[in-house]
Structure 1
């Protein structure tokens, strides 16, 4: 890439919303004038599994384990056969 392309890319990225990734002029437009948005979500099952494990270790999040902040959490994928 040449310098002009890098500058253009930086300016483009600067104009994107840090929350949704759309251009800020679109996602912050007035409700009456801009597009209509609908929301949906998906569950990250790997994160869900970590949260379940954490809750099991801490009695549903009620008690804190000593040094809990030092735990390094990982998830693995198991084949369904």
Structure 2
């Protein structure tokens, strides 16, 4: 008789159930809790703060624009490095 260990422990199954519940309760549009973003208008106050600029994306777009017309530009792999001053 062969005795095998289960592939998933009780903790693993609990974590997966929790993840499934979390994903099921997210709004597909905003990513927030579906109960909050679909509540009647008089129950919640929704605000949109001003956008923030991603400096890494700014630099990445500038670098890729400078190389877009060069041969083989589509094969270049780009990344950003962020350092604090």
Q: TM-score range by the shorter chain?
A: 0.5 to 0.7
Matching residue of 2:63? 53
Q: How many residues align?
A: 75
Listed as ranges, the gaps of 5+ residues in structure 1 are 59-63
Matching residue of 2:79? 74
In the alignment, does 2:63 pair up with 1:21?
A: no
Listed as ranges, the gaps of 5+ residues in structure 2 are 1-10
Contact 1:17-1:27 at 8 Å conserved across structures: yes
Inter-CA distance 77–14: structure 2 relative to 1 (3 Å threshold): same
1:50 Cα shift? 0.8
In the alignment, does 2:47 pair up with 1:42?
A: no
RMSD over aligned Cα atoms:
2.8
Inter-CA distance 68–30: structure 2 relative to 1 (3 Å threshold): farther
Contact 2:67-2:73 at 8 Å conserved across structures: no
